[in-house]
Amino acid sequence: MTTDERAFWIREPGAGEIRSEAMREPGADEVRVRTRFSAISRGTELLVFQGRVPESERTRMRAPFQEGDFPAPVKYGYLNVGTVEAGPAELRGRTVFSLAPHQTASVLPASAVVPVPASVPARRAVLAGIVETALNALWDVPALVGDRITIVGGGLVGACIARLAVRQPGTTVTVVDTDPSRAAMAAGLGARFATPDGAPDGQDVVYHASGSGDGLGLALTLVRTEGTVADLSWYGDTPVTLRLGGAFHSQRLTIRSSQVGTVGAARRDHRTRHERLALAVELLEDPAFEVLLAESRPFRDLPHLLAAMAGGDRAALCQVIEYGEAE
């Protein structure tokens, strides 16, 4: 038995469409999830939408429930919240987060969904995959009590790192971005804000999430002697040039990559990826994360929204997609 559902596909680089597709009934140890909300992960999804996944990374950058192959046609996405319609009794009727693409319903392994606590609004729960990335960065390069911390890049990942870092006692957290309008967002997260010209130096740790080589270069100028820059940016097929002839060697600086595909080394022997994601969902009890969510738009608008973002529209930090009966 199958049902007729709809899913967003990238038809070709820079163009997407919503397609009808048949969906089978769940088997043993599977669930069918009816999507309520999904969200666009602006950095990675825009690179995928534009066909900018390097050939060498096309296997590693696959989303967990992706269909098709890069560059296109491909069904991509990984921020999905819905209701379990069918599956094990303990999950039926539960609101769950999963790494499913943008589609009206999904059949997934039961082990791939994380129940959303009643204390976390379903709409806010779409941020779980981003908070998981931020959490992993703090496991890769810890921010300690009393640290001076800067995040270069006030996008979604940088903002989530800022909120988690602010909750560490005694820290001073600054978000640096070229867009002055993001000062209000930083304030809502409890962080300071600066443009690159006013960014504080002598920082204990700097997290780089701007997606640009210039941002990474700036991050290296802000960290203290023998400090670490955690680089979370994924540059796709864009080359990155750094000037390392200055303080990089004399101040014994470190650049440490952080990527969510593997649990941070400090917790790898103690936490599974599922446990890390479940913790990220719990952290979304914090209402401060609401400042990151844009007004919901209907699923039918998704092709237009991604095209607009690819064209430079920065209005929505986290664009939420809502699925309704009429969609």
Do 238 and 190 lie in one domain? The reply is: yes
- The number of beta carbons lying within 10 Å of the beta carbon of residue 283 is 20
Query: Widest CA span of the chain, in angstroms?
Result: 66
In the predicted structure, residue 6 carries a pLDDT above the cut 50: yes
Band of residue 327 on the pLDDT scale cut at 50, 70, 90: low
Question: Does residue 58 contact residue 70 with C-beta atoms inside 8 Å?
Answer: yes
Q: Is residue 274 part of a domain?
A: no
- Looking at 267, 283, 309, the residue that finishes a domain is 267
Do 146 and 192 lie in one domain? The reply is: yes
Q: What is the pLDDT of residues 77-125, one digit of tens each?
A: 999 999 999 999 999 999 999 999 999 999 999 999 999 999 999 999 9
Do 66 and 154 lie in one domain? The reply is: no
Band of residue 42 on the pLDDT scale cut at 50, 70, 90: confident
3-state helix, strand, coil in the chain (%, to 5): 30, 30, 40
Q: Is residue 275 part of a domain?
A: no
Structure tokens at 307: 């095209």
Do 9 and 62 lie in one domain? The reply is: yes
Do 64 and 171 lie in one domain? The reply is: no
**Average pLDDT of the chain?**
93
Do 138 and 241 lie in one domain? The reply is: yes
At CB < 8 A and 24+ separation, what contacts does 115-123 make?
Answer: 115/91, 115/281, 116/81, 116/281, 117/281, 117/282, 117/285, 119/285, 120/281, 120/282, 120/284, 120/285, 122/36, 122/37, 122/81, 122/95, 123/36, 123/37, 123/81, 123/293, 123/296, 123/320, 123/322
* Total domains present in the chain: 2
Q: Is residue 327 part of a domain?
A: no
Specify the pTM. 0.93
Do 144 and 229 lie in one domain? The reply is: yes
Give the per-residue pLDDT at 269.
Answer: 79
Do 208 and 144 lie in one domain? The reply is: yes
Do 191 and 229 lie in one domain? The reply is: yes
**For residues 65-75, average pLDDT:** 96
Do 199 and 256 lie in one domain? The reply is: yes
In the predicted structure, residue 325 carries a pLDDT above the cut 60: no
In the predicted structure, residue 19 carries a pLDDT above the cut 50: yes
Q: Is residue 58 part of a domain?
A: yes
Q: For 207-255, what is the HEC assignment?
A: EECCCCHHHHHHHHHHEEEEEEEEECCCCCCCCCCCCCCCHHHHCCCEE
Give the per-residue pLDDT at 241.
Answer: 87
In the predicted structure, residue 326 carries a pLDDT above the cut 70: no
Q: What is the pLDDT of residues 270-296, one digit of tens each?
A: 889 899 999 999 999 999 999 999 999
Q: What is the pLDDT of residues 140-189, one digit of tens each?
A: 999 999 999 999 999 999 999 999 999 999 999 999 999 999 999 999 99
Do 24 and 65 lie in one domain? The reply is: yes
Give the per-residue pLDDT at 138.
Answer: 94
State the Cα–Cα distance between residues 169 and 275, nearest whole angstrom.
Answer: 24
Q: What residues make up the domain containing 8? A: 2-123+293-322
Do 119 and 235 lie in one domain? The reply is: no
Give the per-residue pLDDT at 44.
Answer: 83
Query: Residue 37 is part of a domain; what is its CATH number?
Result: 3.90.180.10
